[in-house]
Structure 1
Amino acid sequence: MSSDSKLFKDALGEMGDVKPLAQERCVTLRKEPKQSELILRERRAAATHKTERELNPLSGEYIDLVAPWDPLEFKCDGVQNGVYRNFRLGKYSVDARLDLHRHSVEMARSAVMEFVRDCVQADVRCALITHGKGEGRKQPALLKSCIKHWLPQLDDVLAFHSAQPQHGGLGATYLLLKKSQRKRQEIWEKHQRRG
């Protein structure tokens, strides 16, 4: 038996009646689950009586990317085929324009939401959003892809389609918007007077 082993055995024998010191617990054993940033944001918004959807309904979730040369198109049920055909061929006058060049995705999201709301309030029926094709970029057609994803989420958008060449071609999108409540009321009253 080596001298180190003998020393160790002797030390163990001398420690036979030693008891561990009592310690106070310094750490809470039950941890609260971490809350994600989204939950915290929702709670803050609820505290001010506005949810994230009320502030800006355009989702920031995963977006399917489109190619720079892909056309964009969407039509709600109820939009007549003839109206949609004339709309996508650029036969309606464009009464409002939004240029998203040099906008970040977040800036573009807010700008699109505000633009559509302003157009409806001003009784604009046909508008144009210029977003570019995004060719040669690290993430090609990012804003174009966002436009394709966001616009169907807005109740006031009846249809959209990539623009004709004279309005920006595949780097721009026409919007067909609902009539404002005021305009619908005027048309209803006009038809009532005829009848």
Structure 2
Amino acid sequence: MQDDDKSLFEKEMQGVKPISQDDSIGLAPKSPISNSQARRAAAQAELAESINYLSSEAVDLVDPHDMLSYKKDGVQDGVFKQLRQGKYDIQSVLDLHKKRFVEARSEVFDFIQTSHRIGLRTLLILHGRGEHAKPVPALLKSYCAKWLKEMPQVLAYHSAQRHHGSTGALYVLLRKNDAQKRENFERHAKH
């Protein structure tokens, strides 16, 4: 600072005293959970979502041409039938062709997490049949079936219709995220 600026600053700051920790400036009393605790809890929740918990242990192998099907309890039969028949608009696609196991595991996990977070409901995963995969045919297909069952966001899946990849692809139905549940509740509560 130049001397003129410094003296002007000191003149303006004359009589100003720092606020001590005990001075109250009309803030609301702190809640029982401090800001650092809230930040820590939010970070832990985000970390839990980002840690890939999908199994890499042995899997029951399926045949390359097997039709895959899974539905959690509570999924309406009509909804599952619509999924099975490919009647829902596909909102996003994940192509796992030519992916290595570790890469595919990571991509499936991230794809489902991200799709759920942004509110997508119907997905298509192209895993391929793996007829000529060495040393184990349909390994990726088998693991996709297992991984999707491990994810709480997944309500159901079924092998796709022929024009979407047949037994080399899966339609996946995700549950509503929290924002969608709130919106649905508010819409129905008004009636």
TM-score where L is the length of structure 1? 0.71
Give me the whole-angstrom Cα distance separating, in 1, the residues matched to 2:183 and 2:48: 33
Residue 105 (structure 1) shift: 0.8
Q: Does residue 90 of the first structure (1) align with residue 67 of the second (2)? A: no
Tell me how far apart the structure 2 counterparts of residues 191 and 178 of structure 1 sit (CA, whole Å). 18
Deviation for aligned residue 1:136: 1.9
Runs of 5+ consecutive residues of structure 2 not aligned to the other structure: 1-43
User: After TM superposition, which residue ranges in structure 1, 4 or more long, deviate above 6 angstroms?
Assistant: 49-54
- Residue 63 (structure 2) pairs with residue 64 (structure 1): no
> Aligned AA for 2:61?
L
* Match in the other structure for 1:27: none
CA distance, structure 1, for counterparts of residue 178 and residue 133 of structure 2:
41
Q: How many positions carry a matched residue from both structures?
A: 146
Matched-pair identity in %: 44
Look up the match of 2:16.
none
Aligned residue for 1:37? none
Q: The residue matched to 1:63 in structure 2 has which SS?
A: coil
Question: Retained in 1: the 8 A contact 2:156–2:174?
Answer: yes
2:190 is paired with a residue whose SS is helix
Q: Show structure 1 runs of 5+ residues with no match.
A: 1-48
Q: Give the letter aligned to residue 161 of structure 2.
A: Q
Letter in 2 for 1:79: V
After superposition, the CA RMSD in angstroms is 1.8
Corresponding residue of 2:181:
184
Alignment of 1:132-171 (within 5 A): 132-138=128-134, 139-171=136-168
Q: CA deviation at 1:53?
A: 9.2
Q: 1:54, CA displacement in angstroms?
A: 6.5
Counterpart-to-counterpart distance in 1, 2:98 and 2:82 = 31
Letter in 1 for 2:60: D
Deviation at 1:182, TM superposition (A): 0.3
**Secondary structure, in 3 states, of the residue corresponding to 2:172?**
strand
Q: Give the corresponding residue for 1:77.
A: 73
Deviations for 1:8-34, whole angstroms, at most 9, x for unmatched residues?
xxxxxxxxxxxxxxxxxxxxxxxxxxx
Distance 1:84 1:53 in 2: 27
State how far apart, in whole Å, the 2-side matches of 1:80 and 1:86 are: 10
- Residue 20 of structure 2 corresponds to which residue in structure 1? none
Distance 1:53 1:116 in 2: 11
